[in-house]
């Protein structure tokens, strides 16, 4: 027996009461109105069929009642929506599909039934079947905004990026969110082209993305990576540097590939100047540790340790402390001191593992890695580094 139906009788009580009021109001005080009495009796008989899991009988009866009195369409829709919310999508689909077939509906009523049917299919995970009701809505001219949003959702889940972009363009929304989302879709296409070895097409797509959204950090990252693959190091460095103006919170995500390019060019002094400048304007532990590594390469462990200690005095962090312990372990001679340092090192590692570094500004989803689309709410561009976690 379906787990829905032991509770369905209680769930339908408000609907039944409302229906009884509706029928009484429609009949007024004319108790002899046979038609109203028959409809009311049949309607409650239909509810009884549902409670007893005789769904086919119930739907046939409701369809007959709808043919006799088209004004019952709202009640019919409400019943289908109730099924969907209770998790019985097959019954919701059946009810809404039968409703759409009725010849007594006007365009607005048919559109509302199509919208509910599309939602039923989405809830059931039948994306291919959900598409057509939403396309029909656009043709009818009702609930177009809802239809476009659902279609964008369908196409991005199916990775049909061109169709998703087309739907966003047809919405004719001129807000920044739409432009930023389209830029992400273009970046998805660019990633596909790059993985297929077509760097020219990938570069062209990120150019389009940046035209849509000049602040698209992901597009700039991809463009820099392509330039690096082409061994155009100077141009790649300049691309990475642009991210400081686009959104400085993403600097920790590009600092390592940027330094790799700098070091290939061999300008060690320029690296330390750049990192020191970043630390002043956009302090973060990732930048600090990169600067410590550079000082260590240029001047040795002792200089790096002193530099790190001075920085931690003004901005302490767990990752910074772990790096300081590592530097001290290099020249700790006493066994007891080394044992204590190892214990502290393990503790700092555990503290870092327990804390996520990124969080969605929309739903609060937390992650240890950067996601361009939030796995929690599926919104784009909402995952950001958590300020204060590990010193970022």
Provide the annotated binding site for Fe cation.
Answer: 360, 363, 374, 377
CA 33 vs CA 23, 38, 41, 42: distances in Å: 11, 9, 13, 15
Is the CA virtual torsion 346, 351, 353, 358 positive or negative? negative
Residues within the annotated binding site? Answer: 360, 363, 374, 377
Label residues 81-91 b or e (16+ Cβ within 10 Å = b): bbbbebebbeb
Edge-to-edge, what's the strand order for the sheet holding 383-385?
366-367, 358-360, 383-385
């Amino acid at each position: 027996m379906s787990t829905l139906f032991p509770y369905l009788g209680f769930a339908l009580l408000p609907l039944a009461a409302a229906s009884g009021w509706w029928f009484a109001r429609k009949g007024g005080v004319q108790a002899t109105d046979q038609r109203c009495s028959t409809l009311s009796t049949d309607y409650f008989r239909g509810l009884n069929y549902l409670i007893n899991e005789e769904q086919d009988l119930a739907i046939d009866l409701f369809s007959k009642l709808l043919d006799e009195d088209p004004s019952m369409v709202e009640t019919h829709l409400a019943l289908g929506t109730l099924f969907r919310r209770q998790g019985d999508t097959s019954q919701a689909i059946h009810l809404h599909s039968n409703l759409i077939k009725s010849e007594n509906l006007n365009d607005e009523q048919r559109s509302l039934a199509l919208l509910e049917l599309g939602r039923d299919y989405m809830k059931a995970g039948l994306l291919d079947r959900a598409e057509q009701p939403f396309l029909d809505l656009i043709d009818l001219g009702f609930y177009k905004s809802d239809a476009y949003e659902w279609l964008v959702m369908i196409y991005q889940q199916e990775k049909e990026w061109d169709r998703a972009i087309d739907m966003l363009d047809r919405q004719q929304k001129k807000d920044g969110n739409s432009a930023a989302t389209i830029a992400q879709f273009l970046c998805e296409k660019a990633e596909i082209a790059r993985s297929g070895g077509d760097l020219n097409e990938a570069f062209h797509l990120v150019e389009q993305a940046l035209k849509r959204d000049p602040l698209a950090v992901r597009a700039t990252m991809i463009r820099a990576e392509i330039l690096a693959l082409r061994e155009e190091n100077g141009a790649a460095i300049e691309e990475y540097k642009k991210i400081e103006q686009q959104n400085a919170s993403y600097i920790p995500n590009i600092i390592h590939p940027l330094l790799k390019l700098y070091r290939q060019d061999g300008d060690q002094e320029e690296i330390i100047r750049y990192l020191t400048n970043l630390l002043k304007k956009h302090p973060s532990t990732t930048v600090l540790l990169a600067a410590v590594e550079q000082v260590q390469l240029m001047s040795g462990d002792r200089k790096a340790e002193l530099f790190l200690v001075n920085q931690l005095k003004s901005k302490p962090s767990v990752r910074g402390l772990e790096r300081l312990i590592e530097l001290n372990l290099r020249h700790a001679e006493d066994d007891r001191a080394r044992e204590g340092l190892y214990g502290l090192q393990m503790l700092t590692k555990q503290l870092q593992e327990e804390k996520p570094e990124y969080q969605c500004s929309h739903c609060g989803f937390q992650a240890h890695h950067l996601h361009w689309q939030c796995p929690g709410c599926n919104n784009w561009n909402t995952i950001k580094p958590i300020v204060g976690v590990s010193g970022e």
